[in-house]
Amino acid sequence: MFGQNNFTIDRLLLLVCVGLLSACAVGPDFKQPEAPNTSSYTETKLSKELATAPGVPGGTAQEFVEGADIEAQWWELYKSPELDALIKKALQQSPNLGAADAALRAAQENVNAQIGGQYFPAVGLGAGVTRQLQPSSIYGMQYGSDTYNLFNTSVNVSYKLDVFGGARRAVEGARAQAEIAQFQLEGAYLSLTANIVTSAVREAALRAQMQATEEILKAQTNLAEVTEKQLAIGTVSKVDVTSQRTLVSNSQVDLLNYERNLAFARNQLAVLVGDLPSNANVAKFDLNSLHLPEKLPLSVPSSLVRQRPDVRAAEAQLKAMNAFVGVATANLLPQFNITGSIGSAALSSANLFGPNSSLWTIGGGILQPLFQGGRLLAQRRGAIANYEQAAFQYQSTVLKAFQEVADALRALETGAQALKAASDAERYAYETLDLVQQQYKLGTTSYLAVLYYQNQYQLAKVKSVSAQATRFADTAALFAALGGGWWNRTGPAFQPKAIVSKEQNETSEKN
């Protein structure tokens, strides 16, 4: 049966191939936006080397290296095994990263579905059996009616010729949406790693501020005891004692606030890693154990738009909206369809594939939309408006990217200067307080002077710790603002334990 109709299938495939070869894609072809025409990130020239503050965490020398590439695991420059382990764990079990990875896989499968549905004919195999009663009068005869069984089988083919490229634009749009999901995954990866670094730095800073406050509180408590003894012998007034006790109580409040914020920071680290705060085993970080990266890579401005995941996602969104304009345009033009079927029918299953049971049909159709209440035109205008919206959003994303880099660069420059000044201020405040306390014990200065310089030293100490933490955090912000080096990564963004174990087993087998 099928051999007798090979010429029919050949003709059908020929028409399909002719349709594919003659197709052209309507709508605008996507053009990648040009990078901003600028050679600098900041309004004024940056210093190549940043100020130093020897002897304190975060006070080491840093310099910008123009044109240098960013390492994929840039956080390893902090030389903290605890930080490395925390990020590795987060890449294995972060639910946000897992959700972004699943969204990417769904978008990729949607591309496959679009290719299968748009580029290839739909082929179906059907079979059936019916029992029918028909009067002979429908054939123009008078002898009564016939009851019989009818067996049939067929292969049905339908194909929509992509003459004007609407199908190709639809696939192009699906691919662009998969690109969006890809760069959203990279954005989630960058956000996760940067947030863990900055949260670890914050945890270390709060711990240092707690330690500084505890030391200050201890000194204030000791002085309060001395003041009370002096009150007993009449060398100071009750006001001096109550003032010192007020200072002690205020420091206790500060200490409790630091403890609360430290708990919040550790809870945040636990959640970033993908653990419950009650079950997480988060390492304790110390500013003294963190190493400040000396070399800061500074990408050329023209390459920033290719490195930032959010900019790449906005570009892919622009590409998708451009493709959908083509789809909406193609819907206004004639639609060409080819359908065909080949099969057999017989009154018994034994004769279903007999010489006289074959049947086939082939047909073509064209439909030109004439009036649909303006629906198709409105859809095309809407697609164009969506493209314009995506274009503005892309511009906004690029501007934000350059702003974040400029902010990070200025923050590093001023942060280095601030740390130097804060470190000097802390040292001078401590020396002054020590001298005044000695003078007070000797009775050569007033208590008000001691009280004043205690406050000055406390503020200077806390500011110095804060400036140290800012240097570490600002460095992480620069790496994140420049894109984080994801393009140099060899493995996937999301690395669940199953994948990691598989890679380790494959490595062991090779060795």
- Between the CA of residue 159 and those of 14, 120, 337, what are the distances in Å? 12, 7, 6
- Going by pLDDT thresholds of 50, 70 and 90, the confidence category of residue 370 is confident
Is pLDDT of 21 > 70? no
CA distance 255 to 220: 13
Is pLDDT of 167 > 80? yes
Question: How confident is the model over 407-460, as pLDDT tens digits?
Answer: 999 999 999 999 999 999 999 999 999 999 899 888 888 777 887 888 788 889
Is pLDDT of 15 > 50? no
- Going by pLDDT thresholds of 50, 70 and 90, the confidence category of residue 18 is very low
Taking alpha carbons only, the member of 486, 475, 453, 458 closest to residue 197 is 475
> Highest mean pLDDT range out of 88-92, 147-151, 220-224, 356-360?
88-92
Yes or no: say if 98 and 494 are a contact pair by the CB < 8 Å rule.
Answer: yes
CA distance 465 to 463: 5
Least confident of 10-24, 149-163, 196-210, 482-496: 10-24
Structure tokens at 364: 């073509």
Q: Determine the average pLDDT of the residues in 199-205.
A: 94
Percentage with pLDDT > 90 across the chain? 53
Neighbours of 432 (CB within 10 A): 16
pLDDT for 12 equals 44
Q: What is the mean pLDDT of the chain?
A: 87
Is pLDDT of 57 > 60? yes
CA distance 74 to 293: 9
Q: What's the pTM value of the predicted model, to 2 decimals?
A: 0.84
pLDDT for 111 equals 95
Question: How confident is the model over 479-510, as pLDDT tens digits?
Answer: 999 999 999 999 899 988 765 455 555 555 55
Q: Taking phi first (over 0 means left), then psi (-120 to 50 degrees means alpha), and beta for anything else, what does residue 209 get?
A: alpha
Comparing 334 with 1, which gets the higher pLDDT? 334
Taking alpha carbons only, the member of 382, 260, 269, 400 closest to residue 327 is 382
Written as one string, the DSSP assignment of 441-469 is HHTSS-HHHHHHHHHHHHHHHHHHHHHHH
Is pLDDT of 118 > 70? yes
Is pLDDT of 292 > 90? yes
- Going by pLDDT thresholds of 50, 70 and 90, the confidence category of residue 152 is confident
Q: Determine the average pLDDT of the residues in 12-28.
A: 55
Q: Which residues contact 345 (CB under 8 A, 6 or more apart)?
A: 150, 151, 152, 153, 352, 357, 359
Neighbours of 18 (CB within 10 A): 11
Structure tokens at 419: 């740390």
Domains with residue ranges and CATH for the chain = 44-120+162-281+295-333+368-503 (1.20.1600.10)
Neighbours of 488 (CB within 10 A): 12
Q: Determine the average pLDDT of the residues in 370-386.
A: 91
Which amino acid is it at 252?
Q
Question: How confident is the model over 426-437, as pLDDT tens digits?
Answer: 999 999 999 998
Written as one string, the DSSP assignment of 284-344 is PP-GGGPPPPSEEEE--HHHHHHH-HHHHHHHHHHHHHHHHHHHHHHTTS-EEEEEEEEEE
**Phi (first) and psi of residue 289, to 5 degrees:** -95, -5
pLDDT for 20 equals 45
Yes or no: say if 255 and 214 are a contact pair by the CB < 8 Å rule.
Answer: yes
Written as one string, the DSSP assignment of 183-249 is HHHHHHHHHHHHHHHHHHHHHHHHHHHHHHHHHHHHHHHHHHHHHHHHHHTTSS-HHHHHHHHHHHH
Q: Determine the average pLDDT of the residues in 264-277.
A: 94
CA distance 248 to 236: 18
Written as one string, the DSSP assignment of 130-181 is EEEEEEGGGGT--S-EEEEEEEEEEEEEEEEE-TTSHHHHHHHHHHHHHHHH
CA distance 166 to 1: 37
Between strands 335-346 and 145-161, the pairing is antiparallel
pLDDT for 3 equals 42
Comparing 190 with 213, which gets the higher pLDDT? 190
Percentage with pLDDT > 70 across the chain? 91
pLDDT for 257 equals 94
Yes or no: say if 58 and 469 are a contact pair by the CB < 8 Å rule.
Answer: yes
Comparing 143 with 301, which gets the higher pLDDT? 301
Taking alpha carbons only, the member of 471, 171, 145, 494 closest to residue 319 is 171
Q: Determine the average pLDDT of the residues in 178-189.
A: 97
